[in-house]
Amino acid sequence: MKIKNIIAPNMTEAFAKVREQLGDDAVIISSENTADGKVQVTAALEDDFELSFDDRDEMEIIPVQKNWSDKYLRECLEYHGLVQTVGEKIMAVARQISAEQNLSDDKIILEKTLNRLFRYADILDVSQPVKLFMGTPGSGKSTAIAKTATQAKFRKIPTCIVSTDNVRAGANKQLEAFAGILELDFYFCKDEKTLRRTVDEALRKYRLILVDTPGINPFVASEVDRVARFAEAVKCRGILTVDTGRNTLEAVEIADIFAGLGADCLLPTRLDLTRRIGSVLSVAACCKFCFCAASVSASIANGLAPIDSSSLAKLILNQA
């Protein structure tokens, strides 16, 4: 891993220098203001070997065996605690793929299975510029927005942050302060009318508009309505943040309500605090959500981790 400390007059120039010296794949590890008013950024670039989940080349030379024992995969899925029907579906598709393609390696079979069963999206996909983050209180919406904004800034995507959180005291101050550090524009919209107007104008200027919403109890209609009004006001991609450690059935029930508000993208949070990912796999399968990224740390500087069939397979197989 290459690590560099970069000092620059401001964050924009610091990011430019990081990109110039380490390339687009560098990750910001920390940033702070120096005593003389400059910005010091520590950035890292992992070696290709460490970065890659992709061992397809290796896979090609694994000798093909006809008889795959599904025992290990079954045990892994049991450990993760999926909704029963989702676990059964994964096993059925895995068996089918193993037979069709004459495969016997657990990871290859599972990866292909997860590719067939789940969808994956890029959180920085600008073809859907308005991303509306929603979820239960404390599920990690604002942190995920801050992390997405950091990555967008790093990729030089013109981005702004919009808060609609008029419920939690201090919620806006926190996000506004963060936008300030990143030198991004910040807007607060108290109601859906203001949001519609703000987004209409913002679409002319930015390629990514990250909208925060108040954390709600999905079992209380008046609270659901609060977010529904914002979600209906703008054409957006709804991103649901789900604490991975949640009870699986609760998570699916909650996600189903947010799906009704237009959410179709899943961003698991607190992956660092849990070993079992049955809740998020079940949400994605039962509510037809695509995975867009994951939060694996409370630290904003650590960014979001990408999710694909390979990283999911790794998580599933490594934890049994």
Ligand X SMILES: Nc1nc2c(ncn2[C@@H]2O[C@H](COP(=O)(O)OP(=O)(O)OP(=O)(O)O)[C@@H](O)[C@H]2O)c(=O)[nH]1
The footprint of ligand X (CB under 6 A) covers 135, 137-143, 165, 168, 171, 215, 241, 269-270, 272-273, 295-298
Q: Coil, strand or helix: which one is 271?
A: helix
252: part of which helix (H) or strand (E)?
helix 248-259
30: part of which helix (H) or strand (E)?
strand 27-33
Least CB distance to Mg ion at residue 181 (A): 16
Q: Which is nearer to ligand X, 112 or 141 (CB)?
A: 141
Q: Which is nearer to ligand X, 98 or 151 (CB)?
A: 151
Least CB distance to ligand X at residue 138 (A): 4
Helix axes 171-181, 141-154, angle to 10 degrees: 10
Least CB distance to ligand X at residue 302 (A): 9
Q: Is the distance from CB of 251 to CB of 259 less than 8 angstroms? A: no
Pairing mode of beta strands 130-134, 208-212:
parallel
Least CB distance to Mg ion at residue 214 (A): 8
Q: Coil, strand or helix: which one is 52?
A: coil
Q: Which is nearer to ligand X, 106 or 165 (CB)?
A: 165
The dihedral over CA atoms of 258, 260, 264, 269, expressed in degrees to the nearest 10, equals 10
Report the partner that residue 115 touches, choosing among ligand X, Mg ion, none (CB closer than 5 to 8 A by kind). Answer: none
Q: Which is nearer to Mg ion, 176 or 308 (CB)?
A: 176
Report the partner that residue 279 touches, choosing among Mg ion, ligand X, none (CB closer than 5 to 8 A by kind). Answer: none
Question: What is the binding site for Mg ion (CB under 5 A)?
Answer: 141-142, 171
